[in-house]
Amino acid sequence: MKVRLRWGFPWSLPFAGKAAYNKRMEISFAPELEAKLNRIASQTGKGPDEVVRELVASYLDHDEWFRQEVGKGLASLDRGKTVSHEDVRRQMDRILGS
């Protein structure tokens, strides 16, 4: 199965002269992944292409956030701000209720 994705905005401006979705990408899936995608699409009432677009957008948003948080942590280390192993253990014990 190949899912065709169109990148761009989901709308077009009246003066744009062409559809906002003007770039396409094809992705091939293994049969078991295709079956999962089709099942999710069916359960949500969406097309497989829409499910893939939403999943990719969510993944990229999370990846961007994660990289920013890692960058903040590294900058904090560069400034000499550290947390001891024991402080981390105490905080995790509080969070997990241990």
Q: Which domain holds residue 64?
A: 2-81
Q: Which of 71, 77, 78, 2 is nearest to 34 (CA)?
A: 2
Does residue 95 form part of some domain? no
pLDDT for 90 equals 95
Give pLDDT, residue 2.
59
What tokens were used for 53? 């677009």
Q: What distance in Å separates the CA atoms of residue 24 and residue 8, rounded to the nearest whole number?
A: 10
Each residue's pLDDT tens digit in the chain (98 positions)? Answer: 656 555 444 443 444 444 555 678 888 999 999 999 999 999 999 999 999 999 999 999 999 999 999 999 999 999 999 999 999 999 999 999 87
Domain assignment of residue 63, yes or no? yes
> What was the pLDDT predicted at 3?
60
In a domain, 88, yes or no: no
Instruction: Judge whether 61 lies within some domain.
Output: yes
What is the tally of structural domains in the chain? Answer: 1
- The answer to whether residue 87 is domain-embedded is no
Buried b (16+ CB within 10 A) or exposed e, 63-81: eeeeeeeeeeeeeeeeeee
Q: Which ranges of the chain does DSSP label H, i.e. alpha helix?
A: 31-44, 48-78, 85-96
